[in-house]
Structure 1
Amino acid sequence: MVHVLLLEDDQNSREALEKMLIDYSEEIRVHTASSYPEAKNLLKSDIRYGLFLLDVNLGGENREDIGGILFAREVREQFRYTFTPIVMVTAIGAMEMQAYRELHCYQYIMKPFCQEQVQEVVRKVLDKEKQEDPPVIHVKKDGVNYQVKCDNIRYIEAIPRGIRIHMKNGDWDIPYISLKQILTKIPEDMFLQCHRMFVVNRREVEYFDMVNRVIKLKDCTDVVEIGVTYKSEIGRIVSD
Structure 2
Amino acid sequence: MKRNVLIVEDNRVCMEALAELTRKCDTVGAVFCVDNRKDAYTCAMENEIDLFLVDIILDSGNIHDISGFLFVKELREVRRYEFTPVIFITSLVDEAMSAFHDLHCFDYIEKPFDWEKTRKIIKTALKAPLCDERECSVFYYRKDGVLYALNIDRMIYLETSFRNVTIHTLDETIELPYASLKNLMKDLPRKYFIQCSRNVVINRLFIEYVDKVNRFIKLRNGELIKIGGKMKKGFLEEL
Normalising by structure 1, what TM-score? 0.57
Secondary structure of 1:9's partner?
Answer: coil
Q: How many residues align?
A: 204
Native 8 Å contact 2:3 2:27 kept in 1? no
- For residue 107 of structure 2, what is the aligned residue in structure 1? 108
* Aligned partner letter, 1:227: L
Gaps (5+ residues) in structure 2? 207-217, 228-239
Aligned CA RMSD, in angstroms, stands at: 4.8
How far did residue 6 of structure 1 move? 0.8
How do 1:109-188 residues align onto structure 2 when only pairs under 5 Å count?
109-111=108-110, 112-113=113-114, 114=117, 115-124=119-128, 127-128=129-130, 133=134, 135-141=136-142, 149-151=151-153, 153-158=154-159, 160=161, 161-164=164-167, 166=169, 173=176, 175-177=179-181, 181=185, 185=189, 187-188=191-192
Give the distance between the partners of 2:159 and 2:139, measured in 1 at CA: 17
Native 8 Å contact 2:3 2:30 kept in 1? yes
Give the distance between the partners of 1:138 and 1:87, measured in 2 at CA: 28
Gaps (5+ residues) in structure 1? 204-212, 216-223, 231-240
- For residue 89 of structure 2, what is the aligned residue in structure 1? 89
Give the distance between the partners of 2:225 and 2:12, measured in 1 at CA: 52
- For residue 223 of structure 2, what is the aligned residue in structure 1? 226
- For residue 234 of structure 1, what is the aligned residue in structure 2? none
* Aligned partner letter, 1:162: V
Deviations 1:39-59, CA, capped at 9 Å, x for gaps: 523543574140321011345
* Aligned partner letter, 2:181: I
Give the distance between the partners of 1:110 and 1:147, measured in 2 at CA: 38
- For residue 53 of structure 2, what is the aligned residue in structure 1? 53
* Aligned partner letter, 1:4: V
Q: In 2 relative to 1, CA 98–201 (structure 1 residues): closer, same or farther, beyond 3 Å? A: same
How far did residue 25 of structure 1 move? 2.8
User: Larger radius of gyration, structure 1 or 2?
Assistant: 1
Give the distance between the partners of 2:21 and 2:190, measured in 1 at CA: 30
How far did residue 116 of structure 1 move? 0.8
Q: 1:44 aligns with which of 23, 42, 45?
A: 42
Matched, 1:8 2:9: yes
How far did residue 147 of structure 1 move? 6.8
Q: In 2 relative to 1, CA 7–105 (structure 1 residues): closer, same or farther, beyond 3 Å? A: same
Secondary structure of 1:123's partner?
Answer: coil
Identical counterparts, % of pairs: 19
Secondary structure of 2:127's partner?
Answer: helix
* Aligned partner letter, 2:20: K
- For residue 30 of structure 1, what is the aligned residue in structure 2? 31
Native 8 Å contact 1:158 1:178 kept in 2? no
Secondary structure of 2:181's partner?
Answer: coil
How far did residue 128 of structure 1 move? 1.0
